Amino acid sequence: MVPMSKLNPSELGVFQSIPATKHVEPAIATDPAAFEAVVRSRRSTRVFDDTPVPELVMRQCLELATLAPNSSNLQCWEFYWVRDESKKKELVKYCLGQPAAATAQELIVCVARLDTWRRNSRLLLEQLESQQSGAPASMLHYHRKIVPLAYGQGPFNLLGPLKKLAMAILGLTRVTPRGPAGKSDMRVWAHKTTALACENLMLSLRAFGFDSCPMEGMDERRIQKLLGLPRTAEVCMVVSAGKRATHGIYTKQFRLDKSLFVFEV
């Protein structure tokens, strides 16, 4: 934890300064109405018909999923497209046999990894260093020095409470980032990033003319065993895909009044 405190305030400069970069990526023209149609027509579909989802569409949607923003670009997600018939049958059972799974053409287990960030940070550094990427020094510094400090929780997450305490003390007198500190924070962190990708996945399916349903009601342990995953690979959600059956969406979309959720302050 000592190095963490050293981050304040000198290392904060890494975050506050604008580096000199050469990359230019102009914003391309987009079609807001076409986008809005995708968002508005995406409904959680409980019953699918028999129309298959083309392989290429599935692969395309999975690729678009991984273009979601993610925490420190550590890409702590995994997507298991379960194609094997017997595995799929098991998976339907583990999704409590709900029609959204049982009638689905395809099922994707979306996984939040608590344990791949070190590997991914290392691989990312190799890319950034080797490919004349034009990455600013601060980005390299971030992956070399700050990522291990920020995300490391020590053996058995023992550093978690210490980090929390240190940040609470520092936080008494100065602006201090508060996490992730401990296993609960790391879980939140990994699921958050994975959910961003899940939303891309579901919207992509809709954009390509298909429907989806995100499922959280499932037997996570049995799914982990089915896929040979460790406990550090948590199931964020299972996403089913197919074309909506005539009565596959049970009701119109219900949202509570927006004054409960959106505040201008």
Give the shortest CB-223-to-a copy of itself separation in angstroms: 10
Type of residue numbered 93: K
- β-pairing verdict for 211-215 and 77-82: unpaired
Kindly tell me which of 154 and 250 has the beta carbon lying closer to a copy of itself: 250
Is residue 147 near a copy of itself by the rule CB under 8 A? no
Is residue 225 near a copy of itself by the rule CB under 8 A? no
Give the shortest CB-105-to-a copy of itself separation in angstroms: 14
Is residue 143 near a copy of itself by the rule CB under 8 A? no
Is residue 4 near a copy of itself by the rule CB under 8 A? no
Q: Quick one: which of 3, 5, 6, 35 contacts a copy of itself (CB under 8 A)?
A: 35
Kindly tell me which of 63 and 154 has the beta carbon lying closer to a copy of itself: 63
Reduced to 3 states (helix: H, G, I; strand: E, B; else coil), residue 78 is: strand
> How many CB atoms neighbour CB 185 within 10 A?
18
Is residue 165 near a copy of itself by the rule CB under 8 A? no
Q: Quick one: which of 43, 144, 145, 164 contacts a copy of itself (CB under 8 A)?
A: 43
Give the shortest CB-155-to-a copy of itself separation in angstroms: 19
Tell me the site size for a copy of itself, rule CB under 8 A.
Answer: 128
Q: Is residue 105 within 8 Å of residue 83, measured between CB atoms?
A: no
Q: Quick one: which of 83, 118, 141, 231 contacts a copy of itself (CB under 8 A)?
A: 83
- Residue located via tokens 């020095």: 145
Is residue 178 near a copy of itself by the rule CB under 8 A? yes
Q: 250 forms bridges with which residues in the sheet?
A: none
Give the shortest CB-204-to-a copy of itself separation in angstroms: 7
Is residue 49 near a copy of itself by the rule CB under 8 A? no
From residue 7 to residue 26, what is the string marking binding to a copy of itself with x (rule CB under 8 A)? -----x--xxxxxxxxxxx-
- β-pairing verdict for 106-113 and 77-82: antiparallel
Kindly tell me which of 104 and 124 has the beta carbon lying closer to a copy of itself: 124
- φ/ψ of 249, rounded to 5, equals -115, 120
Q: Quick one: which of 3, 6, 84, 158 contacts a copy of itself (CB under 8 A)?
A: 84
Instruction: Enumerate residues 94-133 that contact a copy of itself by CB under 8 A.
Output: 94, 96-99, 102, 116, 120, 123-124, 127-128, 133
What does 11-71 look like in DSSP terms, one character per residue?
Answer: GGHHHHS--------PPPP--HHHHHHHHHH--B-S-B-SPPPPHHHHHHHHHHHTTS--G
The alpha carbon of residue 119 and the mean position of all alpha carbons in its chain are separated, in whole angstroms, by 17
Q: What whole-number distance in Å separates Cα of residue 53 and Cα of residue 48? A: 11
Q: What whole-number distance in Å separates Cα of residue 235 and Cα of residue 173? A: 39
Q: What whole-number distance in Å separates Cα of residue 239 and Cα of residue 83? A: 13
